[in-house]
Amino acid sequence: MIKIAICGGSGYTGAELLRILSGHPEVEITAVTSEKSAGKRVTDLFPHLHKYSRLVYEPLDKEKILNKADVFFMALPHAASQEAVDYFFKKGKKVIDLSADFRLSDAAVYEEWYKTPHNYADTLKIAVYGLPELYREKIKHSSLIANPGCYPTSAILGLYPAIKEGIIDIDNIIIDSKSGTSGAGRKADTAFSYCEVNEGFKAYGIAVHRHTPEIEQELSGIAGEKITVNFTPHLVPMDRGIISTMYGRIREKSLKKAETAEIISVYKKYYDAEPFVNVLDEGVYPNAKNVRGSNFVEIGLKVNKRTNTLIVVSAIDNLVKGASGQAVQNMNIMTGIKETTSLESLAVFP
């Protein structure tokens, strides 16, 4: 049995790790930390996790926790994660960091967008961006995974084949994303109270959201040249799910073969062997509801011939493929466990 520690286990991603791992036959949870909730049982905070009725939050005492586990899931807030990640990694542990601290390979970019210094630029260089569909081989041999952000996961998987194949222009990509409210985390904040969110819909962080450089880094990597995108997140009155609607101009030279069916077949080729990515047939579009509670991704495609634009829509569950599910997928890959273990549950619909 692989021993697992979850550092920062009192939020939604921590709870979701516990939920997903509760069905995993090859792991056991040996520690879960929380500063605020130290001494409380997991079930005091999350009654639905009743299988963990004896698991108690402890403070994150690095020395004390070090020998308790083989794999460390780090679900700490951004910035707070850096030091602990570095510590466990350097002590030879496998670390999967769900914060943003090791996602941006350029520390200067991190500092610009997160307004905080990065003190582990060397470790940063070693971290592997944990998107298995792009980096499976690297993940296999890595001990430090920067688990992708939720919006970036939906955007990158949606645009990957179109950019890689040169189907769309890279200089005018628009990513209009919509997220359920769990993306904001579990916290006391009037802005995310029921009566403020319910029956409302709004854009936020226009042009300044921190997932922008992460998306740009990965899309640029795919394209082999620098991509700058318009990324607009919106808040949807639902618990889980991200839908990203993406627009890219069909490249002049691709126009002739730019039929919806054609592009769908390109995408299917890219994702055929992927256990968690479903490219939908023509005329069918993703629905956040079809993936909720699951690690699956839906991708739908349409060419607008009147405007020579490719519209890609992707759907994920932000807490699963957008966070904890992908983290478990990375753990499976890193530890040689079958990649889909404990991740095959279908969506809970309705």
> What single string gives the DSSP state of each residue in 74-106?
E-PPTTTHHHHHHHHHHTT-EEEE-SSTTT-S-
Q: How far is CA 68 from its chain centroid?
A: 26
Q: Least distance to its own copies from the beta carbon of 43, Å?
A: 10
DSSP 324: I
Residue among 141 and 306 whose Cβ is closer to its own copies: 306
Residue among 94 and 209 whose Cβ is closer to its own copies: 209
For CA atoms 321, 326, 332, 333, the dihedral sign is: positive
Q: Least distance to its own copies from the beta carbon of 67, Å?
A: 28
Three-state DSSP state, 217: helix
Residue among 207 and 256 whose Cβ is closer to its own copies: 207
For CA atoms 9, 15, 18, 21, the dihedral sign is: negative
Residue among 87 and 192 whose Cβ is closer to its own copies: 192
Three-state DSSP state, 62: helix
Q: Which of 171, 133, 150 is nearest to 247 (CA)?
A: 171
Residue among 220 and 228 whose Cβ is closer to its own copies: 228
Q: Least distance to its own copies from the beta carbon of 91, Å?
A: 31
CA-based angle 43:16:22, to the nearest 5? 70
Q: How far is CA 225 from its chain centroid?
A: 23
> How far is it, in rounded angstroms, from Cα 228 to Cα 230?
7
Q: Least distance to its own copies from the beta carbon of 249, Å?
A: 7
Q: Least distance to its own copies from the beta carbon of 337, Å?
A: 17
Active site residue 195: no
**Annotated active-site residue in 150, 155, 162, 343:** 150
Cite the active site residues. Answer: 150
